């Protein structure tokens, strides 16, 4: 009965009230086979992409607009699994309210931590960087305020501050600040993301720096990336990689590579935990919105005891 009342109320709203709301999404499911050294292979059906987004704006006059967005991760493969159910919770992706004008954009909410990061992740799900401990692929941070400058001759800057992830007195309130600089030219772009976090337990600061550069040469697209992290305890790690794709009509072959260095502790000792990763795949556009593809990722760990990991996948997805 309550559902009927809600539906009847929505139906009675003026059409103009819903005019500026945009609904979009990206949904995909794949069959994935995983093989680890010393273990048998495992085949499962997994979510490869999944998001539904509601966004809107209102003209406040004098060039000022209010904006909002609610984005939610969607797992079509196993929505009854406990972790998947949490993922399907409302507003788990970038969700915010804000103001936009000639001065730029201000947003408050659950916001991407490093705005231009993860550009090497061109594959459906398992890019060569997916096993990286330092190359970010779109982490969102709660309790964040962000300011984005207007684009000036191709340059934009973003400044963000996170007030901490929890009000629990026993939790580690990790405050974080992010600075992002980006330039978009004719057929190329470069960007820098820097994050500073303070560990409340150690009372020390950790830093992450990420650089990305991309270029489009007709059908060929190339991305190069680099990341360097210094943890609050003084340990350091770096990595670099490259990805490429080449569009041939509806068919797009892809390649990715990432090399992650060993962790160097504050006392100079190294932990043999680096790796090299490779991903190759091909995607076919069945239409402007629907796609199908296949890919395989191989991770070779520097530690011989860790061996290697191989994941192969075929998938089907659509956008709306």
pLDDT band for position 305 (50/70/90)? confident
pLDDT band for position 208 (50/70/90)? very high
pLDDT band for position 4 (50/70/90)? very low
The 3-state secondary structure of 247-301 reads CECCEEEEEEEEEECCEECCCCCEECCCEEEEEEEEEEECCCCEEEEEEEEEEEE
Domain ranges of the chain: 22-319
Confidence at residue 170, expressed as pLDDT on a 0 to 100 scale: 47
- Give the closest residue to 116 by CA, choosing from 183, 176, 51, 52: 183
Confidence at residue 149, expressed as pLDDT on a 0 to 100 scale: 97
Most confident of 2-11, 35-44, 200-209, 215-224: 215-224
How much is the average pLDDT of 259-282? 94
In angstroms, rounded to a whole number, what is the distance separating the alpha carbons of residues 273 and 260? 9
pLDDT, one tens digit per residue, over 83-97 is: 555 556 788 889 999
How much is the average pLDDT of 66-82? 83
Least confident among 21-25, 62-66, 268-272: 268-272
Superfamily of domain 22-319: Porin (2.40.160.10)
Confidence at residue 169, expressed as pLDDT on a 0 to 100 scale: 46
Confidence at residue 91, expressed as pLDDT on a 0 to 100 scale: 83
Per cent of the chain over pLDDT 90 is 65
* Mean predicted lDDT score pLDDT of the chain: 87
Whole-model pTM: value is 0.84
Confidence at residue 215, expressed as pLDDT on a 0 to 100 scale: 98
Confidence at residue 306, expressed as pLDDT on a 0 to 100 scale: 83
How much is the average pLDDT of 196-220? 88
How much is the average pLDDT of 62-72? 95
In angstroms, rounded to a whole number, what is the distance separating the alpha carbons of residues 203 and 284? 50
pLDDT, one tens digit per residue, over 210-255 is: 999 999 999 999 999 999 999 888 999 999 999 999 999 999 999 9
Please determine, for residue 9, whether its predicted confidence score (pLDDT) is greater than 50. no
pLDDT band for position 7 (50/70/90)? very low
In angstroms, rounded to a whole number, what is the distance separating the alpha carbons of residues 237 and 285? 38
pLDDT band for position 23 (50/70/90)? very high
Confidence at residue 5, expressed as pLDDT on a 0 to 100 scale: 44
CA separation (Å) from 282 to 145, 196, 253, 307? Answer: 38, 37, 4, 26
């Amino acid at each position: 009965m309550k559902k009927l009342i809600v539906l009847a109320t929505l139906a009675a709203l003026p059409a103009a009230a819903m005019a500026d709301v945009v609904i979009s999404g990206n949904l995909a499911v794949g069959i994935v086979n995983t093989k680890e050294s010393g273990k048998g292979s495992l085949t499962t059906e997994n979510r490869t992409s999944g998001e539904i987004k509601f966004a809107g704006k209102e003209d406040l006059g004098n060039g000022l607009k209010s904006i909002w967005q609610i984005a939610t991760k969607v797992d079509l493969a196993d929505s009854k699994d406990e972790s998947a159910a949490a993922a399907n919770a409302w507003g788990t992706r970038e969700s915010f309210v804000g103001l936009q004008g000639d001065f730029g954009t201000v947003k408050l909410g659950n916001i991407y931590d490093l705005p231009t990061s993860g550009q090497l992740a061109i594959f459906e799900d398992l890019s060569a960087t997916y096993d990286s401990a330092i190359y970010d692929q779109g982490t969102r941070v709660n309790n964040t305020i962000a300011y984005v400058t207007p684009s000036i001759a191709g340059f934009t800057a973003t400044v963000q501050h996170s007030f901490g992830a929890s009000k629990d007195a026993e939790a580690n309130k990790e405050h974080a600040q992010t600075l992002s600089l980006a330039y978009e030219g004719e057929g190329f772009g470069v960007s820098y993301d820097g994050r500073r976090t303070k560990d409340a337990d150690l009372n020390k600061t950790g830093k992450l720096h990420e650089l990305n550069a991309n270029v489009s040469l007709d059908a060929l697209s190339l991305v190069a990336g680099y990341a360097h992290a210094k943890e609050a305890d003084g340990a350091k790690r770096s990595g670099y990689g490259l990805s490429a794709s080449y569009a041939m009509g509806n068919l797009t072959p892809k390649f990715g590579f990432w090399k992650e260095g060993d962790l160097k502790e504050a006392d100079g000792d190294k932990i043999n935990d680096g790796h090299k990763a490779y991903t190759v795949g091909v995607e076919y556009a069945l239409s402007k919105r629907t796609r199908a593809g296949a890919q395989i990722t191989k991770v070779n760990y520097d530690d011989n005891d860790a061996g290697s990991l191989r994941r192969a996948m075929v998938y089907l997805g659509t956008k709306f």
